[in-house]
Structure 1
Amino acid sequence: MAFAASLAKLQAEASCPICLDHLRDPVTTECGHNFCPSCIHQRWEGLQGTFPCPVCLHHCPDRSLKRNAQLCYMTEIVQQSSTSGSQRKLQEEIPLCGKHHEPLTLFCEKDLELLCAQCKVSSKRQDQRLIPIEEAAASHRRMLKRHIGALTNHLEVAETVYKRQVANTWEVKRKMKKMMEELDFECEELKFFLEIEDEIDNNLLIEEKGVEKQLIENGRHISNHMFRLSNLLSEIEDKCLQSDLDLLTGIERIHNSYGNLETPAVFSCELKKESYNLPPNYLGLHKMIRMFQVDLTLDPQIAHPSFNISSDRKSVTYRTSDGLPNPHALTSYPAVLSSEGFNAGRHFWVVNIKGIGECLLGFCKESIPRNTLISPSPSNACWQYQQKNEVFRLVCTGQHKIGVFLDYELGEISFYNLNNRSFLIGFSDIFTEKFMPYFSIASSSESLTISIIRVE
């Protein structure tokens, strides 16, 4: 390819810029350009004074031109080379200029297009930078390689963004699935509550019919008694108006009738109260989590030496072997506090318990005695919900989510099972100082992990 390009450039240099054919007995102008004598004299025909070069427009003082014998010889060699079969094949392989039908050997950096040698001498191209194809190709190849590096980086960034987008899509799908499962569970719970309500309504209807029947029967007895009283009253009034002999006749029957009067008892009915209440804060639990959920981190400075705190300070496990003594540990009982504490407001945090073992969750006063042989209890300024082995074995997923809610001003602590959105237990007290979330794992719980998580 390099040989063909060199030969094409040699042919271009051996061509007349005017007739575009091989130079015939070439002559050279004062500016150094070569032409066929007949072509240059024909171009200058009718001109007087100065004669411009057809290539560079240099003004030649007269028509006197020097014959270039060496170029003439070279032109003959080029003509002979162009007639060989191999050369013709090379010429056929080299693209030709559409305007001049000459091999494309030059490249215009301004217009970014291929040109032939004849294009070079046109008036429009004289001020433009034209370079050989090989030089232009090498320059642009280096430029393209730089583009390859930049585009490779852009592609890697795009792939990372795409993977993140795919991950976000799956995360959204996972959250949507979880929300649908939670909604289905709540709908089932509400459906169960409505079925209980229907059962209560049926029981009340049956009871109402029974009470209504007894009321009607009791009213009939009272009506009959009133009728007998009315007849007896009329009979006594008539007796009082009779003569002495008539009054005393049959008086025994009247006395017996009066003495045997019994007033029917009034029917009394106490309705049995039936009710079925939703668990406390059941329907408002989602809202409570959204409004009051806080991010907690564990404080490794006061952690028990047997505790292994994760690097993000969100999880804790019990090590099988004791660690180095920690003089700043909360207590000798295996426990740790969060770095955050609360002395006002309402706060909700979620704890995920995974594995088998025993743990204590809750919070304690900031003034709890440190590094002493005490167990957590309300008397020691610590309130907690206890979760033991048998409960974990009942959880099929091996995980248990506990929500802890603190209302400082009301002095209330509530624990929730977030697996089924149920209320577990609550405590009430008077809070007067800062409270710290509290976490503890029994020494026998080697496979138990407590993690502070965030529920969306």
Structure 2
Amino acid sequence: MAFAASLAKLQAEASCPICLDHLRDPVTTECGHNFCPSCIHQRWEGLQGTFPCPVCLHHCPDRSLKRNTQLCHMTEIVKQIPTSGSQRKLQEEISLCKKHHEVLTLFCEKDLELMCAQCRVVSHHQNHPLIPIEEAAASYRRMLKRHIGAFTNHLEVAETVYKKQVANTWEVKRKMEKWREELDFECKELKCFLEIERDEIDNDLLIEEKDVEEKLIENGRQISYHMFRLSNLLSEIEEKCLQTDLDLLTGIKSIQNRYGNLETLTIFSCELQKEFFTLPPHYLGLHKMILTFQVELTMDPKTVHPDLIMSSDRRSVTYMTPHGFPNPQDLTSYPAVLSSEGIDAGRHFWAVKITGTGEYFLGVCKESFLRNTLISPLANNGYWQYQLLTRTCGPVPRGQRMIGIFLDYELGEVSFYNLNNKSYLYGIADTFTEKLMPYFSIASSSESLTISIIRV
């Protein structure tokens, strides 16, 4: 293949750049290019003063040309070399200018177009920067190689981004699945609550129905007896009116006393008490509170108690019962850790998940509170807490107990919520005057307990 290409180049060198046929009695211009005499004179026909070379546009001073005898002999030799199919294919692949049918030898750097020597003379490319094809190809080959490196880097970045997008897609699916599970759990909790509420109200309605029915029956008996007395009195009065004056006045006192002492009939009111069927307290408001005021918290490793093991993401601590004899101080101190973020204004909500068995304390404390000491964590010591106990039994599965804490600094309130059934647990009211720190503590009497900050 290399030999065929070299042979094709030799054939091209032995060809006239104007007619593209083998050179016939070749002549050489001052700049060193070779042409057929008839071709170059025809190209210069009508020109005066200067005569540009059709290849490089060098201005020849006159029409005098030198005959190239050696090239003439070499051309004759080249004519005698048989042309193979591959050589003919290479020759056919030589691109020609569509306007002038000449070999494309130049490249316009402004318009990025291939052109022949004639294009340079008669077209709009006259004042454009032109370079030989070989030089242009080498320059743009270097540029493309640089682009290969840059595009390879871009491709690697795009692949990394794509992998992250795929990972994000799976993360979104995982979160959606988790939220669906939480929604199913909440719906079951709400359904259970509504069924209990319905049964209680239904039972109250049955009791009220029975009570009203008994009172109506008794009231009916009283009305019937009252009607009987009225009927007897009415009959006696009617008979008395028909008697003589003496008989009418005889015994009138008895009838008058009976009429005057007749009791007023009491009518029983059968209005029923209306039962209101409501959602659990704070249920809808809690959702809005979480969406509006939830904050991201992490635990401060500088404040963690030695008996607590903190996770690498600083979002959970675990207490394990020490083996052997416990330290007497550990039985009276309070293994705790503070949040890295303090609060001195506004409203804030955060949530924790409790896993394991034991007693734990959640709340806030003053930034100046002495942690992990023997001082009791009470409000008068600058600590506001809610104490809870988690067990392995009960309506909430182990590892699923979730507690929400809401702090309204200006209002001076700390509220605690059971996020498993969206119910209100406990509230604390006080006056806050300095920065407060979210506080997480596990009783040293616990077996194995983990407190994790979560997002709901």
The answer to whether the superposition gives a TM-score over 0.5 is: yes
User: 1:11 is matched with which residue?
Assistant: 11
Q: How does 1:31-430 map to 2 (within 5 A)?
A: 31-40=31-40, 52=51, 55=54, 56=57, 58-61=59-62, 64-81=64-81, 83-85=82-84, 88-93=85-90, 95-98=93-96, 108=107, 110=109, 119-120=116-117, 123=121, 128-132=130-134, 139-177=139-177, 185-186=186-187, 188=191, 192=195, 195-196=198-199, 199=202, 203=206, 211-232=215-236, 241-242=245-246, 247=250, 266=266, 278-318=279-319, 332-342=333-343, 345-365=346-366, 368=369, 370=371, 372-377=373-378, 382-391=383-392, 395-396=396-397, 398-408=399-409, 412-423=413-424, 425-430=425-430
After superposition, the Cα gap between the structure-2 partners of 1:390 and 1:218, relative to the gap in structure 1 and judged at 3 Å, is: same
Cα distance in 1 for partners of 2:31, 2:409 equals: 101
Give TM-score, length-normalised by structure 2. 0.73
After superposition, the Cα gap between the structure-2 partners of 1:420 and 1:170, relative to the gap in structure 1 and judged at 3 Å, is: farther
Percent sequence identity over matched residues?
54
User: 2:326 is matched with which residue?
Assistant: none
Cα distance in 1 for partners of 2:136, 2:50 equals: 35
* SS state at 1:355 partner: strand
* SS state at 1:448 partner: strand
Cα distance in 1 for partners of 2:409, 2:44 equals: 108
User: 1:325 is matched with which residue?
Assistant: none
Cα distance in 2 for partners of 1:130, 1:48 equals: 25
Cα distance in 2 for partners of 1:159, 1:264 equals: 96
| Residues 362 and 439, structure 1, Cα contact 8 Å, conserved in 2 | yes
User: 1:26 is matched with which residue?
Assistant: 26
| Residues 335 and 443, structure 2, Cα contact 8 Å, conserved in 1 | yes
Q: CA deviation at 1:395?
A: 4.0
Cα distance in 2 for partners of 1:143, 1:24 equals: 41
Q: Please give the per-residue CA displacement for 1:164-192, whole angstroms capped at 9, x wherever unaligned.
A: 44444445455555555555534636854
When the two structures are aligned, how many residues end up with a matched partner?
431
Q: CA deviation at 1:89?
A: 2.6
Cα distance in 2 for partners of 1:68, 1:18 equals: 17
Q: Please give the per-residue CA displacement for 1:141-171, whole angstroms capped at 9, x wherever unaligned.
A: 4433322222222223333333444444445
| Residues 366 and 433, structure 1, Cα contact 8 Å, conserved in 2 | no
Q: Please give the per-residue CA displacement for 1:258-307, whole angstroms capped at 9, x wherever unaligned.
A: 6xx99698576897786665432122111122333333333333332222
After superposition, the Cα gap between the structure-2 partners of 1:39 and 1:438, relative to the gap in structure 1 and judged at 3 Å, is: closer
* SS state at 2:306 partner: coil
Q: CA deviation at 1:23?
A: 1.6
| Residues 5 and 87, structure 2, Cα contact 8 Å, conserved in 1 | no
Q: Name stretches of at least 5 consecutive residues in structure 1 with no aligned partner.
A: 323-328
| Residues 196 and 276, structure 1, Cα contact 8 Å, conserved in 2 | no
Cα distance in 1 for partners of 2:290, 2:380 equals: 29
After superposition, the Cα gap between the structure-2 partners of 1:140 and 1:218, relative to the gap in structure 1 and judged at 3 Å, is: farther
| Residues 91 and 103, structure 1, Cα contact 8 Å, conserved in 2 | no
Cα distance in 1 for partners of 2:318, 2:70 equals: 96
| Residues 358 and 387, structure 1, Cα contact 8 Å, conserved in 2 | yes
Q: CA deviation at 1:238?
A: 7.8
RMSD after superposition: 4.7
| Residues 8 and 103, structure 1, Cα contact 8 Å, conserved in 2 | no
What amino acid is the match of 1:159? E
* SS state at 2:130 partner: coil
Q: Please give the per-residue CA displacement for 1:27-53, whole angstroms capped at 9, x wherever unaligned.
A: 2344443333444456667x6976835
Cα distance in 1 for partners of 2:452, 2:353 equals: 5
Q: Please give the per-residue CA displacement for 1:298-324, whole angstroms capped at 9, x wherever unaligned.
A: 3333332222334553322236779xx
After superposition, the Cα gap between the structure-2 partners of 1:383 and 1:276, relative to the gap in structure 1 and judged at 3 Å, is: farther
